Amino acid sequence: ITLGSNALTISGDARLSGGTFVGGSGTLEVRNLTLEGVNFTAPSGQLDIKGNYQFSGGSFFHNNGTVRF
């Protein structure tokens, strides 16, 4: 999944298992974020995690963006 320059709001839980997520330059807002064996590149803009964050394997790249909890 590639976010590009768009904003994406997920009002529920986001569970990514395997594969690749590329955040692009947009904003990603999620309630709870679970990453399981996924190659995750955060947006270079902003990643807002409103609830819980769980990481179990894979990789997390900050992409020079802001992560807010």
Tell me the pLDDT of the chain (69 aa) as tens digits: 888 898 999 999 999 999 999 999 989 999 999 999 999 999 999 999 999 999 999 999 999 999 999
pTM of the model: 0.89
pLDDT at residue 58, as a whole number: 96
pLDDT at residue 3, as a whole number: 87
> Cα separation of 17 and 34, whole Å?
8
> Cα separation of 3 and 27, whole Å?
9
